[in-house]
A and B are shown apart, each in its own frame.
Chain A
Amino acid sequence: MIELTRVSRSFGAVQALRDIDLSVAENEFVAVIGRSGCGKSTLLRLIAGLLEPSAGTVTVSGAPVALMQQVPALLPWRTALGNVMLPVEIRRLPREQYRDRAVALLDAVGLAGFHDRHPYELSGGMQQRVALCRALIQQPRVLLMDEPFSALDALTREEMAGQLQDLHLARSATTVFVTHSIQEAVLLADRVVVLSPRPGRVRKVLGVDIPRPRSFGHNAHLEAVAECVAHLHDLLLHD
């Protein structure tokens, strides 16, 4: 579905990524984790086709590909609903049908009653949820997310991650999810790719074999979750 072979990318003298090999299977959920500046966003832009690799090849099969950027990137003159409808208009999909879907998506992420608000009337977290809906309305086969919950408080963050897990279970898409939160990675991912910085390289790929649905609450898998989190913590701390 997504295949990167020996991919490098430089910006002038700065090598952001070196020799990345990564393949993501259909409907797999892969989390990419690493310190800031280690090339996570660059990796996502390469997969999204917004950047060309300096070396190596990137192939992505399956369309549409939806990208959720690190910032909400909402159009300030459009309402929440209008922003969610942007991809529908640009891809020339039937508006009436997708309008209902947009309404349902906004309600599902807790924005019922905020459909007609403009971005400047919404908090940072609400804006990111609108951006999530804008990515999901395209019913993407490939979903790329760049630290989608970074502007949220810890509690909302956990809640959103839970919602994303439900959404993924309900109608899966091949997903690459960039984060710097170990918890989020363990909660959501089938595999976690740990990047090491300067230049960004794959340090380790860790499979997360914990049954779904997962949570941080009291359940049978608490030990497995703790072990996974500890392992990732070690990897990130000592590089």
Chain B
Amino acid sequence: MTRARTWGLPVLGAVSAIALWWSATAVFGIRSFILPAPPDIVAAFRAQPAYLLREAGATLTGTVTGFGIATVAGLLLAVLLTAWRSLERATLPVLVALNSVPKVAVAPLLVVWLGFGARPKIVLVVLICFFPILVATMAGLTSTPAELGELARSLSASVWQAYVKIRLPWALPQVFVGLKVAISLAVIGAVVAEISNPTSGLGAVIVLSGMSFDTPLAFAAIVLLAVLSTVLFYLVVALERWLVPWARAISA
């Protein structure tokens, strides 16, 4: 019963959505270059799987690299800012102002500054992911319960020990809130960079297929993106379950 609920219902929902879409294209006679039916998309993928997978690989590499850099930088800066309050007061307004710039708008500029390689893509992903990770980690690091802070002081723990043994582990559930937001944003950032500079990646596939009215190919790329994004999200969820099993237990 529970098994049927956890797996059966989502599968049923997905299958019905696809069936609805398929029947809509059939019933209303929608032409393939407006809205392709599911078999057209499968056919588009099967026509050139190596090409699509290679471009998906390029998107994946850019996404994961940028996400990784943003995670390391976000965690380090969060520790710095929470340990050193005057630094926080000096830099946080600047960071907030920078974050309020729509990052998508700087995508073309990044190409001007950084050239046509993978770098503008990685930088855009970092820019988009960094802030949610920073904010979530800072929230986690400043939510250490008073009694645990007192415990650290009563044991004469150094600032470093208090972070490593108490504050950072305590912050982990909140860090993962930020990471889950950031991983979805990371894919968006990578695709936006690829659309503004269509030399590689699934974003480039979408731009090029749009130019040649090859809508089924564009849809194949979009489906791959959705799969990529979903898999990455659940990888982060799996990492969370592995690293902080206690968070679910104490919130239950």
Contacts and interface: CB of A to CB of B under 8 A. Distances in A.
A104 B247 CA distance: 29
Contacts of B247: 76
B169 A75 contact: yes
B244 A48 contact: no
A103 interface: no
A48 B169 CA distance: 25
Interface stretch (B9-17, B109-117, B146-154): B146-154
B154 A65 contact: yes
Given A90-B155, A90-B157, A90-B165, A77 B244 contact: yes
Secondary structure at the B interface, as helix, strand, loop or mixed, is: helix
A21 B215 CA distance: 85
B166 interface: yes
B4 interface: no
A142 to B, nearest CB: 11
Nearest to B169: A77
A29 to B, nearest CB: 20
Interface string A71-105: 10101110000000011011100000000000000
Interface string B126-168: 0000000000000000000101101111111100010001100
A77 B164 CA distance: 13
Contact of B155 (A71, A77, A86, A121): A86
A50 interface: yes
Contacts of A17: none
Contacts of B170: 75
Contacts of A76: 246-247, 249-250
Interface in A149-193: none
A76 B170 CA distance: 8
A67 B246 contact: no
A121 B246 CA distance: 10
A89 B249 contact: no
Interface string B22-36: 000000000000000
Contacts, number: 50
A50 B148 contact: no
Contacts of B155: 86-87, 90-91
Nearest to B243: A77
Contacts of B244: 77
A69 B147 contact: yes
Nearest to B248: A120
Nearest to B148: A73
Nearest to A71: B147
Nearest to B154: A67
A71 B151 CA distance: 11
B242 to A, nearest CB: 12
A115 interface: no
Interface string B75-103: 00000000000000000000000000000
A118 B151 contact: no
Contact of A89 (B153, B154, B165, B250): B165
B161 to A, nearest CB: 5
Contacts of A73: 145, 147-148, 150-151
A86 B162 CA distance: 11
A72 B7 CA distance: 40
A5 to B, nearest CB: 23
B246 A69 contact: no
A89 B150 CA distance: 17
A66 B152 CA distance: 11
A66 B154 CA distance: 7
Given A69-B150, A91-B156, A86 B165 contact: yes
B244 to A, nearest CB: 7
Interface in B210-252: 244, 246-247, 249-250
A30 B127 CA distance: 59
Nearest to B166: A75
B154 A50 contact: yes
Contact of A50 (B145, B150, B166, B250): B150
A121 to B, nearest CB: 8
Q: Which 6 A-B pairs have the closest CB atoms?
A: A73-B147, A67-B154, A76-B246, A120-B249, A90-B155, A77-B246
29 contacts: A45-B150, A48-B154, A50-B150, A50-B153, A50-B154, A65-B154, A66-B154, A67-B154, A69-B147, A69-B150, A73-B145, A73-B148, A73-B150, A73-B151, A75-B148, A75-B165, A75-B166, A76-B250, A77-B169, A77-B246, A86-B155, A89-B165, A90-B155, A90-B156, A91-B156, A118-B249, A120-B249, A120-B250, A121-B249
